[in-house]
Structures are given as structure tokens and as C-alpha cells.
Chain A
């Protein structure tokens, strides 16, 4: 790991000014992506601005049909939240299957969404449920947030403060995990709620998370696994690696989508 300066601000405003004052600053949340990256010397920030001391970034609230989760809330807290389990159980279940127990005790929703790993789970929930990403500067709709592989609409010094999810009356997530890392080889989040009928796929796309309009229109008429059984997703633009070919991922999308619909 290269050397860096460490800052531990107590407020979002102080974190933003620490980032402004740094040559090449990076935010540190749970560190479950950032620290392995630093260890491999794949990043060499001059400064790390640690969000771990900012109380206003933590916490879960459910009211008026919206689940709001502070950016520094870890995956274990989302998985264990009685409020989320009753309002949006699919989201608690998704969090409960991220990585392993120790990753869930440290990794945060803000870090996961900001990182936009093409195999991460939360981006699929954000896109399918029509979430809003609240930052130190503005509110960004999930539809405009995930812009490509590890790319988001966030500006250099912009800090995610919380994420809000409209409660959907139908929602489910199923993933085919990579057996070693538990990241999604393919994960499909289906939802029928205020944002409409949506199917969002993670793990498979070369540009990260994406929606499947053919499945969405089939499900709008008839929300059943049969309605999408014959919808084939093209393997063009899907990932191929040592774990799975693009064709196999395309096949898995339909299988996972059917399982998710059948779970509701």
C-alpha cells in the first residue's frame, strides 16, 4: 500500500472540505473494496477521507411508503432491520447475501452504490425500485446514476448521504453467486411498484446494471414466471470471463428472472 494522509471528519460538510483540500483525495466507507484496491496498489490517493465518524450518515427509516438508508449503514444492519424486512423484504434479503458475514459487517450501501461494480447487488435494487441517490450536492434518480462500468454520475468530491427506495408491492431478487466471492454472476431484481414494472440485471452487462424492456412489458400484462419464460436476452454486450461465457450469462438472466417472479 502506498502512503496517504488519513482524515476523520465529523460531518458531511467537513468531509467535503477535506476532499476539496486534498491533492487526490478518496472517500473511505467500509473499505471492503477500497482497502483491497490499495493493498494491490491499484490506487494511490494522496488522502483518504474516512466517513466512519459521521453519525448523520448512518441509520434506517421507513415512512410514507419510502425506505431511506444512510450511506454509511452496513449490509448487516440492512439485513437485520425489522422495518425493512416488513416494508421491503427483498432488499433485506439482498443485503443478507452480499459477500460473507464479515464483509456485511463493514461494507456499506453508499460504498457499494458509489463503486458501481458490474457484479454488485445493490445497483440492481436501485434501478428496479426507482431509488433516489441523495448526495452532498443534489438528488439523483437511479435511472441517471449508473453510467457505465464502475462509472456513476457522481462528481469528484460529491458524497452520497443516503438512498431512498419507494416501497413496491411486489419485489424479489435472485442471484446466481460466484461460488468463491458471492458476487453476482447474474442477479435479477424484479419489481412492480411506484416506478412501474421493472426488471434490472446485474453481473452480466459489460456496462454494468441494465433493464430488460421485453420482460418488463411481458410482466406488465401478466406478472407471472410463464410470461417471461420465452424472453431471450441477447448475449451481445454481456460479460464473458473465466467464470461464465456471455451465452451462459444470457441464459441465466431468463432463469433468474423467472425464479425471482416465482418467489413473489
Chain B
């Protein structure tokens, strides 16, 4: 069976600056793959390129998702094909209520899949179960997306959006930064219940906080725009103990 995500010799730049410099990465269906690497090595750039941010230009290489050329798709097509990014820095949408936003997103996906829109009652039920599990209050659902939320709350809301959209491939970009112990537990459990034989995760992180809840199958070290080493979960301990310099 083909890998869920296959990245071959990916080069990407922002402005005139090349950031990804021939990156290779394979993630199988059902795999949890952690990516670790020093600040500025291009981890967020990689997630932006996979999801199709217009500021990042791919100059060479391929990204295949479920065997299809992801780079030819628009960001919304990629999302509806099953790619989800939990942002390192979630974007604020003043004036756009969270619940309405999620209803629009969910129904856009259903439309893409040829399904009927979910009606208001069904949607409320669907949303409330997931909100409760992640400690998202009614009051939070009514507020505009990400506006005025604390850093930790924003991360929780990203996890909640992921639970709502049930994507096949979840990129978590530093989901565990800035979370207190309790929030980490909520997010960790939220992610771990979504783990199944088909769904894959790419977890970008600097420590093993989140990985304790979601044990990775593989860990890759990224430096200066390329993946330089891939191994099993034991690599996390090595990084935590002695940093990136030895790689």
C-alpha cells in the first residue's frame, strides 16, 4: 500500500530565501511521526507548504497525499482531501463566531464528499459532544475565532477543530508549547482518542510532553531545511538529553 504522505526532494522558498532544501519524508497511514528540530530549521514552513500557504513557493520536488499531487490543489481542496493543520500561531478572525465557522467548515467538507449539509440540530449535538470532551464552554463557542483567547486556550481550540473535522492527516505544530499541565492532559487525551489505524499525525515539537500521551512510531530530526535522521521513539530522549548538535 502507498504511504499516506510522501515528500520527495522538496525545495521551498519564501521571498528569495530558500528554507526547505531537498526534504524527504514518508508517513504511512496510521503512523504518528514526530518532527523535532531547532528554532528556524523550517518545521512551520514545512507545514505551511503541505497545506498550501501562498507565501511559500515550491521550487522543486513532490508532495503526494494518498497518491495524489498535493501541490496542485488549493488549500481548501487539500483540507477536504483530509489534511489538517493545528497552527503554531492560530489566526484571529474578528467577527467570525467559532460555532458558525465550524458549521461552515464541516458543511464545506460534506459538500465536497457529496453529502448533504448537517442541519442545525444535528450539528449542535455533533459539536457539543466534542466541545465537552475538550472542555470548550458554550461561551467560548459563541466568541469570535481565536480572538482574545489565551495561548493555551487557542491550542485547545485547534484540537477541538481537529476533532470536529476528523481529518485523515493531522499536523500539530507545537501543540504542546505554552500549555499548563492540565491543558496538556486535555489536549493529549484529545489527540490520543483520535489515533486509529488509518489516521496519521505529524507532531512538531521540542519536547516529549505531548508525545507521552501519543507515543510516536517514528521520530525525525530536521535541520536547516532537511530531515537528517529518522528513528523510533527512543530518539526523543536523545534529543531531550543532548540537544540537536550531535545530529
**A, B bound:** no
Chain B contacts to A: CB under 8 angstroms: none
